């Protein structure tokens, strides 16, 4: 009985360490390129990502309007870790599911699908976050 418990606890500890690493990895300033769900127009913007405990706070500014969003590192059904961002746009909830990778400078590169969380859309929004160098 002890071996499976030890195995499970070491796996859980390693998973939490990986989540902590990803949370710290995405912290920073970004330029955003994107398009809203169900639209053909594109936009440019700016975002900052900061930690707040086990969560992330994302401030997104697009066309002079700022949204504050909550983000978390979550696991998909295939145990892939994604950044999930939730915010209100014009009083409507929007959710983003984002893949986290690194660019050639080993900075975070974030690409997202945007959609209303409880409705199907044939044309989800898209966003790419590019790190801003100091």
Give residue-wise pLDDT tens across range 72-126: 999 888 888 999 999 988 888 999 999 999 888 888 999 999 999 988 889 999 9
Helix/strand/coil for 50? strand
pLDDT at residue 7 in the model = 42
DSSP 73-134: EEE-TTS-EEEEEEEEETTEEEEEEEEEEE-TTS-EEEEEEEE-TTS--SS-EEEEEEEPP-
- 67 near 81, Cβ under 8 Å? no
Higher-pLDDT residue of 19, 8: 19
- CA dist 130 and 21 (Å) reads 19
Q: How many domains does the chain have?
A: 1
Token output for 58: 């994302």
Assess whether pLDDT exceeds 70 at residue 1: no
CATH of residue 11's domain is 2.40.128.120
Summarize the confidence of residues 11-29 as an average pLDDT.
75
pLDDT at residue 109 in the model = 94
User: 110 is in which domain, residue-wise?
Assistant: 2-131
Higher-pLDDT residue of 72, 133: 72
Assess whether pLDDT exceeds 50 at residue 134: yes
Confidence of residue 17 (pLDDT cuts 50, 70, 90): low
pLDDT at residue 14 in the model = 44
- Taking CB atoms within 8 Å and a gap of at least 24, the contacts of 50-53 are 51/23, 51/24, 51/27
Tell me which DSSP letter residue 2 carries. Answer: H
- 34 near 50, Cβ under 8 Å? no
Residue with tokens 């930690």: 51
Assess whether pLDDT exceeds 70 at residue 13: no
């Amino acid at each position: 009985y002890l071996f499976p418990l030890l195995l499970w606890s070491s796996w859980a500890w390693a998973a939490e360490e990986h989540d902590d690493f990803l949370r710290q990895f995405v912290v920073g300033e970004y330029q955003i390129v994107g398009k809203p769900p169900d639209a053909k127009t594109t936009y440019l913007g700016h975002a900052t990502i900061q930690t707040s405990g086990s969560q992330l706070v994302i401030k997104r500014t697009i066309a002079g309007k700022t949204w504050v969003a909550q983000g978390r590192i979550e696991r998909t059904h295939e145990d892939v870790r994604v950044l999930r961002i939730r915010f209100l746009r014009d009083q409507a909830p929007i959710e983003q599911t984002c893949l986290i990778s690194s660019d050639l400078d080993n900075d975070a590169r974030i690409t997202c699908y945007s959609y209303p969380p409880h409705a199907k859309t044939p044309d989800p929004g898209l966003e790419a976050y590019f790190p801003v160098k100091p």
